[in-house]
Amino acid sequence: GQNIDQPTEMTATEGAIVQINCTYQTSGFNGLFWYQQHAGEAPTFLSYNVLDGLEEKGRFSSFLSRSKGYSYLLLKELQMKDSASYLCAVGLSGGSYIPTFGRGTSLIVHP
């Protein structure tokens, strides 16, 4: 079966750094995705890691360790608009990149 775990909720202060962890146990692996979803809106793509290591993209970075089944999303210089749900998803193999999602981490950024 597929199991993707991430914390349900996190809070942080504007300007701070927050790390959202994700662990996974899946029958296949074709990369790990992070998506952001604001309330009432569609998920939007943040990052895709297929190899181990850190990928940096502006204020957001994503890390992957395939041997540990572990990833994290790092958000720096937090802004109020970063308050959203962050979804970790694993792409399963079999010729498809369709991701299987965790339940998401609701991040609340306060002043």
Partner 1 sequence: KAGVTQTPRYLIKTRGQQVTLSCSPISGHRSVSWYQQTPGQGLQFLFEYFSETQRNKGNFPGRFSGRQFSNSRSEMNVSTLELGDSALYLCASSLPTAGEAFFGQGTRLTVV
Is there binding between residue 96 and partner 1 (CB under 8 A)? yes
Q: Are 21 and 6 spatial neighbours (Cβ–Cβ below 8 Å)? A: yes
Is there binding between residue 101 and partner 1 (CB under 8 A)? yes
Tokens matching residue 59: 């204020």
Tokens matching residue 94: 């079999």
Q: Restricting to residues 9-68, which ones interact with partner 1 according to CB under 8 A? A: 30-31, 33, 41-45, 48, 50
Looking at the Cβ atoms of 39 and 81, the one nearer to partner 1 is: 39
Give the Cα separation of 59 and 76 in Å (integer): 5
DSSP type of residue 27:
S
| Residues binding partner 1 (CB under 8 A) | 30-31, 33, 41-45, 48, 50, 87, 89, 91-92, 94-104
